[in-house]
């Protein structure tokens, strides 16, 4: 019972390290907690069987994922029309799957450490990084929402290393710090391996901070030297329950046009509307929107488009680039939300349609295509696509000098979701050293510089237009070029060094 309580407490501590808002009540930034929150969990895992390790981590993962993603309840119940019990069950099912994944990966690390005699201090951070990588891609397309690195988004010196290590490398360092501290509390500083572990932790943390300070100064100094583009971000703040009401469509378009005119008056070079901003589904092969013809400034708008499909009409979550109402380019969301935009394994679980009738029949795009305005190539992510490092990375590798995100966080009310979502965009900006601009129906509409700073943002739940000069970088970062190879190579090197010292100690013992 004590171990169960400790797992729950540790899970809650981790969740508090993320931006936390409950029914409009804003908690202070507690990102520093992430460096200590796993200590209780790792403490009870020491000396435990692999089954106990799996159980402790399952409970921990269930608690911290449910606590950080509680707002899914709002989307399912308040706006999706599901009963309270079904909505709570949905949140717990998601958290249970992720908790089970955490339990299996961490239990595997403990077993490998015991059987193969590999130091857990070396092995577990890498296995945790693999766990976070695995939850990015599965099950059902992945859910990387609550990864540890995102707790550090307010600490600019720390997160600059993401242009080297990405989101998984810094997360592994956080796990290593927690593991060293829990082991230190258990065995003290006397053992030789603990002295080495503490020293290596200090070197790594100080190295990351020093690199962060250097890169922050370099990138900040370059901001004024690069070409910029004047961009307007429109936040219409249409209530989710009214968004698809036909009686309110004219009102929604009128509000969008009014805010757009404010941007035109400020001589914006590109005006961006949020995800599915146009209040009606548009024919997929439409070439012109007549009512937007008077707008002379290029427009990037979010819209739902309708296409013929094998089961009747299918929908695509789309981004349309227009010049004076003429559709010049299109892009489509490639990573759909399971049980929100499609039913996974529909042929097997077709009964799900009856339980969740509001699920859309969306079709994913095959790949993201760059768009161009004023000779500046840019890429689009829609909704939670900015959670997935690989999408923004591939867009940047394709030649984008600017990243955009069109989203609608009104689904989640005044909760943690909108602020957590903002942090994902900040990390993507640093990983690829590109400015990221976010246009939200409501949420956090913002301009993020390549160093992760929020240059400008709007207040959520208020209709407004944000206009800003956005710097355009062109050079590819190391992470954009090579992805996650650097932290994987770092692990291999660390494993080799550990093996060398272990063998050396074994030889010395034989001699004596």
pLDDT tens digit sequence for 254-285: 999 999 999 999 999 999 999 999 998 999 99
- pLDDT given at position 160: 97
Mean pLDDT of 8-19: 97
| pLDDT band (50, 70, 90) for residue 345 | low
Residue tagged active-site, from 45, 132, 316, 333: 333
Residue tagged active-site, from 383, 385, 394, 431: 383
- pLDDT given at position 509: 52
Catalytic residue status for 333: yes
Highest mean pLDDT among 93-102, 220-229, 361-370: 93-102
Mean pLDDT of 405-414: 92
Helix ranges (DSSP H) in 117-189: 120-137, 156-159, 162-187
- pLDDT given at position 512: 53
Task: With residue 439 as reference, give the H or E element that holds it.
Answer: strand 435-440
Residues 6+ apart with CB under 8 A from 231: 268, 269, 270, 271, 272, 437, 447, 467, 468, 470
Task: With residue 50 as reference, give the H or E element that holds it.
Answer: helix 50-68
- 115 vs 41, residue with greater confidence: 41
- 499 vs 5, residue with greater confidence: 5
Backbone angles phi, psi at 336, to 5 degrees: -80, 160
Distances in Å between the Cα of 88 and the Cα atoms of 84, 91, 341 are 6, 5, 19
- pLDDT given at position 338: 74
| pLDDT band (50, 70, 90) for residue 496 | confident
Secondary structure of residue 496 in the 3-state scheme: helix
Token pair 């996650």: residue? 484
Mean pLDDT of 156-170: 95
Res 125 pLDDT > 80: yes
| pLDDT band (50, 70, 90) for residue 339 | low
Res 357 pLDDT > 50: no
- pLDDT given at position 43: 96
Res 10 pLDDT > 60: yes
Mean pLDDT of 107-119: 89
CATH 3.60.110.10 fits 228-476, yes or no: yes
Lowest mean pLDDT among 61-70, 112-121, 448-457, 496-505: 496-505
Secondary structure of residue 234 in the 3-state scheme: strand
- pLDDT given at position 354: 42
- pLDDT given at position 371: 97
Res 476 pLDDT > 70: yes
Domain with CATH 3.60.110.10 in the chain: 228-476
- 366 vs 331, residue with greater confidence: 331
Mean pLDDT of 399-423: 94
Res 248 pLDDT > 90: no
- pLDDT given at position 328: 96
| pLDDT band (50, 70, 90) for residue 350 | low
Longest C-alpha distance within the chain, in Å? 88
Rounded to whole angstroms, the Cα distance separating 299 from 263 reads 11
Strands 270-272 and 299-309 come out as: parallel
The dihedral through the CA atoms of 23, 24, 28, 29 has a sign that is positive
* Cβ pair 408, 273 in contact under 8 A: no
pLDDT tens digit sequence for 44-103: 999 899 999 999 999 999 999 999 999 999 888 888 788 999 889 989 999 999 999 999
Catalytic residue status for 275: yes
Mean pLDDT of 338-366: 62
Report percent pLDDT > 90 for the chain: 71
Res 29 pLDDT > 80: yes
Res 223 pLDDT > 80: yes
Residue tagged active-site, from 132, 275, 341, 385: 275
Mean pLDDT of 374-390: 95
- pLDDT given at position 242: 83
Q: CA nearest 234: which of 2, 465, 499, 507?
A: 465
Catalytic residue status for 227: no
Query: Across the chain, what does the average pLDDT equal?
Result: 90
Res 236 pLDDT > 50: yes
| pLDDT band (50, 70, 90) for residue 181 | very high
Res 348 pLDDT > 70: no
Rounded to whole angstroms, the Cα distance separating 316 from 306 reads 7
| pLDDT band (50, 70, 90) for residue 355 | very low
């Amino acid at each position: 019972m004590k171990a169960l309580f400790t797992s729950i407490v540790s899970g809650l501590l981790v969740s508090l390290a993320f931006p936390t808002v409950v029914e409009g009540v804003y908690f202070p930034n507690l990102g520093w907690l992430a460096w200590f929150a796993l200590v209780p969990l790792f403490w009870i895992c020491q000396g435990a069987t692999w089954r106990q390790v799996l159980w402790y981590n399952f409970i921990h993962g269930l608690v911290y994922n449910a606590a950080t993603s509680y707002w899914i309840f709002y989307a399912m119940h308040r706006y999706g029309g599901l009963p309270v019990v079904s909505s709570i069950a949905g949140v717990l099912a998601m958290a249970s799957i992720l908790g089970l994944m955490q339990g299996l990966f961490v239990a595997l690390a403990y077993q490998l450490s015991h059987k193969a005699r590999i130091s857990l201090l070396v092995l577990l951070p890498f296995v945790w990084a693999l766990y976070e990588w695995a939850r990015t891609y599965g099950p059902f397309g992945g859910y990387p929402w609550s990864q540890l690195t995102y707790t550090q988004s307010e600490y600019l010196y720390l997160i600059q290393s993401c242009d080297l290590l990405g989101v998984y490398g810094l997360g592994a360092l956080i796990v290593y710090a927690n593991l060293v501290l829990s082991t230190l509390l258990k065995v003290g500083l006397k053992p030789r391996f603990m002295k080495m572990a503490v020293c290596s932790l200090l070197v790594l943390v100080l190295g990351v901070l020093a690199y962060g300070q250097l890169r922050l100064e370099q990138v900040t100094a370059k901001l004024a030297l690069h070409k910029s583009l004047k961009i307007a971000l429109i936040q219409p703040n249409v209530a989710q329950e009214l968004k698809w009401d036909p009686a309110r469509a004219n009102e929604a378009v009128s509000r969008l046009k009014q805010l757009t005119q404010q941007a035109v008056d400020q001589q914006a070079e590109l005006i961006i509307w949020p995800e599915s901003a146009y209040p009606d589904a548009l024919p997929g092969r439409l070439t012109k929107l007549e009512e937007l013809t008077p707008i002379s400034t290029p427009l990037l708008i979010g819209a739902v488009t309708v296409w013929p499909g094998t089961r009747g009409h299918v929908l695509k979550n789309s981004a349309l680039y227009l010049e004076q109402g003429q559709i010049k380019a299109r892009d489509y969301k490639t990573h759909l939300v399971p049980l929100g935009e499609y039913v996974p394994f529909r042929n097997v679980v077709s009964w799900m349609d009856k339980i969740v009738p509001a699920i859309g029949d969306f079709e994913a795009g095959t790949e993201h295509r760059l768009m161009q305005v004023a000779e500046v190539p840019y890429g689009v992510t829609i909704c939670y696509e900015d959670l997935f490092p690989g999408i923004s990375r591939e867009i940047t590798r394709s030649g984008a000098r600017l990243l955009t995100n069109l989203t609608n966080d009104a689904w989640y009310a005044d909760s943690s979701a909108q602020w957590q979502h903002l942090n994902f965009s900040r990390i993507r900006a640093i990983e690829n050293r590109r400015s990221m601009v976010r246009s939200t129906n409501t949420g956090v509409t913002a301009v993020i510089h390549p160093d992760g700073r929020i240059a400008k943002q709007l207040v959520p739940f208020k209709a407004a237009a944000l206009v800003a000069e956005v710097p355009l970088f062109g050079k590819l970062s190391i992470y954009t070029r090579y992805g996650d190879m650097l932290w994987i190579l770092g692990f291999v090197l660390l494993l080799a060094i550990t093996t060398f010292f272990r063998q050396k100690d074994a030889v010395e013992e034989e001699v004596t």
